[in-house]
Amino acid sequence: MRRKLLPMAGLYLVQGLPYGLQSGLLPMLLRAGGLSLTRVGLAKGLYAPWLFKLVWAPLVDTRGSPRVWLTLSTAALGVLCGLLAVFPPAEGSQVGLSTTAAGLLLLLNLGAAVQDVALDTLAVQLLEPSELGPGNTVQVVAYKLGAALAGGGLLALVPTLSWPLLFLLLAAVYLLAAALAWATPALQHLSPPQPSATPPRPQHQLQAVLAVPGTLWLAGFVLTYKLGEQGAGSLFPLLLLDRGTSAQELGLWNGVGAVLCSIAGSSLGGALLVRHRQPLPLLRPVIKLRLGSLACQTALLFRLDTLGTGVGPSPVLKGVALLNLCLQHFLGGLVTTITFTLMMRCSQLAPGALQATHYSLLATLELLGKLLLSTLAGALADGLGLRPCFSLFLALSAVPALYLGLAPPSLTR
């Protein structure tokens, strides 16, 4: 198992770099270069290829091996980073990214999304049922470390590294990762799926994917299990800032502390899965714990709203609020690892020629569920008010706890 997990850790770490690059590093670089906040926000449209993974997932299933797709997509990311080194944003200009640089970043997201499909497919094919817990722990933890490295670690080096040197460094990392993907012995023994003589039409392929036991139930779960958590998590730090917590404290607790707690939760999830191996029995108590933590968070905000005061004058309130913030990230990491293990176990029930498409469908729905409330949370708070908004988040967090009672037998074995 170690021969499988070590190369997977390196590849998933590299896979997290584009997300950290464009969610943490790139907005800072563009803003420092003089770009308006509106233009910095519009740069998030470059994430679009991630929402269309189902378009090329069937190609990964039926054309060549996932190892070839992984190697080529990772090498392409290295080439794109090399080209981006030639097109830095214009300093002190509201134009910022040139059309060429924006196009290359769009292609970078496309390559990263293809790499994501290929690597997840390899994991589905490579891991035995008893290895899914450790494998998904490696996936989640390594991805988060890669995102933190690109979004925070490289940001610290920005005064030293110029835009060209930064992307040349990333290009070298990607090319080394491509060599790792091609040369790893554990990945060389996987045979490509045998495509049928007449590839099925997209609608027939979707029907076949949805016919895999447990898929419809799991699709509903991954779409909803993060709704309340993401809505509350996106607003809670901002509300603490409004109520007297300093930006430095929030940066420490919601940045470094949150990442460490999330990784600790993911690691605990993997350790529990090694012992118990069944994701669903573990999910039920963890989802209830998360609901209880969010209820405490909501009660705290209601108390502050009633008092009309902030957390600044009260070290007890501040300590409770910051500890609850870290607890939410810890439980979030724990829930994510167990859920990804359940997704991979369900995808292993699909025929080999459908596994990439099956897992990509679940992963896309999981992403949509996370983006939906985190995007709309601010508008909901402004439109509904603080109390109704967080009451809604609490109710949404109770939905997956009830929904788990409807789990099909195919996912409980």
Q: What is the pLDDT of residues 169-223, one digit of tens each?
A: 889 999 999 998 888 877 766 655 555 444 556 567 778 888 899 999 999 999 9
CB 263 within 8 A of CB 145: yes
Whether residue 161 sits in one domain with residue 183: yes
Whether residue 340 sits in one domain with residue 312:
yes
In a domain, 264, yes or no: yes
The CATH number given to whatever domain includes residue 236 is 1.20.1250.20
Tokens of 161: 């590294």
For the chain, what is the domain count? 2
Q: Please tell me whether residues 301 and 389 are part of one structural domain.
A: yes
The Cα–Cα gap between 55 and 66 comes to 16
pLDDT band at 92 (very low <50, low <70, confident <90, very high): very low
Whether 222 contacts 368, CB under 8 Å: no
Same domain, 89 and 231: no
- Do 216 and 161 lie in one domain? The reply is no
8 Å CB contact between 285 and 338: no
Q: Is residue 378 part of a domain?
A: yes
Q: Which residues contact 201 (CB under 8 A, 6 or more apart)?
A: none
Q: pLDDT per residue over 287-320, tens digit each?
A: 999 999 999 988 888 877 776 655 554 667 777 8
Cβ contact 236:325 at 8 Å = yes
Residue 68 placed within a domain? yes
Give me the domain span that covers residue 113. Answer: 2-199
Distance CA 385, CA 381 (A): 5
| 316 found inside a domain | yes
Q: Is the pLDDT of residue 254 over 50?
A: yes
Same domain, 272 and 368: yes
The answer to whether position 204 is within a domain reads: no
- Region of residue 212 (phi > 0: left; psi between -120 and 50: alpha; otherwise: beta): beta
- 143: in domain: yes
105 pLDDT tier (thresholds 50, 70, 90): confident
* Domain identity same for 221 and 355: yes
Looking at 199, 226, 260, which one is the last position of a domain? 199
**pLDDT value for 202:** 59
In the numeric block, the tokens 């290009």 are attached to: 171
Q: Both 285 and 339 in a single domain?
A: yes
**386 lies in some domain:** yes
Structural domain ending residue among the three candidates 140, 172, 199: 199
pTM of the model: 0.72
CA 400 – CA 181 distance, rounded (Å):
37
- Residue 88 burial class via C-beta count within 10 angstroms: exposed 0-12, middle 13-18, buried 19 and up: middle
Return d(Cα 406, Cα 413) in angstroms, integer: 14
Are 161 and 90 part of one and the same domain?
Answer: yes
Q: What is the pLDDT of residue 197?
A: 43
Residue 136 lies inside a defined structural domain of this protein = yes
Residues 158 and 29 in one domain: yes
Domain shared by 274 and 136, yes or no? no
pLDDT digits (tens, 9 = 90+) for 224-241: 998 888 888 877 777 776
DSSP count for the chain of H helices, then E strands: 20, 0
Which of the listed residues 199, 224, 257 is the one where a domain comes to its end? 199
Task: Tell me how far apart the alpha carbons of residues 7 and 286 are, in angstroms, rounded to a whole number.
Answer: 30
Q: What percent of the chain shows pLDDT beyond 90? A: 13
Q: Are residues 239 and 116 in the same domain?
A: no
Q: What's the mean per-residue pLDDT of the chain?
A: 79
